[in-house]
Amino acid sequence: MQPRDTSCLFCAIAAGHVPCHAVYEDEHLLAFLDHRPLNPGHVLVVPKRHEPDFHRLASALYGALMQLAHRLGKCLAHLYQPPKVGLFVIGFHVPHVHVHVVPLYAMADMTAEAFERAQRTSPGVAVLVDSAAQIRHALAVMEDDDTPASGWHA
Ligand SMILES: [Zn+2]
C-alpha cells in the first residue's frame, strides 16, 4: 500500500491540498460529502493512505472503514429518513478506495445513468455546507453502540 499517489484526487483531499466538505476525520480515515451526490447526504468514506482496491486493505483498516460507513448509515437514516441507505464500493472514477453511503429512494438512484446524471449537476456550496454540518452533528450526538458482539447472538 502506497502512502500517497500525487495524481490521486482522494490523496490530495486526504492531505488537505484539495478542499472537501468533511463529516469525519481521524488518523486513518476521512469521510466527506460527494460533491456530485446521487442524493442529498451522499457520503464517501476513504482510508487516508492510497490503495486502489478494498480487498488489498489490511483487514483492521477495512474493518474500521466499514464500521465508520455503518455509523454514517445510521446517521443518514436518521437525518433523511429514506426507505434505504445504500452502501457500495466501485472505484472506476477515482482509483482510491471509497465507500459510498447514500440515502436511496428507488433502485434507479444507483444506476450508471444516475451516476452520469450526478456528474453533470451539483448542489450549491451552501447545500453541501449545511448537509455536512447536519451529518457531523448526528455523528457527534448519536450513540455509537457498535460493540463487537452486540446483537450477534440474538
Ligand atoms: Zn489516493
User: pLDDT (tens digit, 9 = 90+) per residue, 118-151?
Assistant: 988 888 899 999 999 999 999 999 877 655 555 5
pLDDT average, residue stretch 63-72 = 98
Rounded distance between C-alpha atoms, residue 86 and residue 78, angstroms: 14
- Per-residue pLDDT at 19: 95
Contacts by 54-61, CB closer than 8 A, 24 or more apart = 54/89, 54/91, 54/97, 54/99, 56/1, 57/1, 57/97, 58/1, 61/28
Distance 150 CA to ligand 1 centre (A): 34
Segment 87-123, tens digit of pLDDT: 999 988 899 999 999 999 999 999 989 989 998 888 8
Residues measured by CB to lie within 5 Å of ligand 1, the ion: 5, 8, 10-11, 50, 96
Amino acid at position 24, single letter: Y
Distance 124 CA to ligand 1 centre (A): 26
Look up residue 4 and give its three cell numbers.
Answer: 500517497
Distance 137 CA to ligand 1 centre (A): 27
pLDDT interval class at 2 (50, 70, 90) = low
On whether residue 123 sits in a domain, the answer given is: yes
Distance 80 CA to ligand 1 centre (A): 30
Boundaries of domain holding 112: 9-141
On whether residue 54 sits in a domain, the answer given is: yes
Residue 83: closest CA among 100, 108, 105 = 105
Distance 88 CA to ligand 1 centre (A): 18
CATH at 92: 3.30.428.10
Distance 70 CA to ligand 1 centre (A): 22
On whether residue 104 sits in a domain, the answer given is: yes
Segment 27-48, tens digit of pLDDT: 999 999 999 999 999 999 999 9
On whether residue 66 sits in a domain, the answer given is: yes
Distance 10 CA to ligand 1 centre (A): 5
pLDDT for residue 1 is more than 90: no
pLDDT average, residue stretch 4-28 = 93
Distance 130 CA to ligand 1 centre (A): 27
- Per-residue pLDDT at 88: 95
On whether residue 2 sits in a domain, the answer given is: no
- Buried-state track 58-85, b at ≥16 Cβ within 10 A, e below 16: eeebbebbbebbbbbbbbbbebbebeeb
Q: Please state the pTM of the whole predicted model.
A: 0.90
Q: How many domains does the chain have?
A: 1
On whether residue 77 sits in a domain, the answer given is: yes
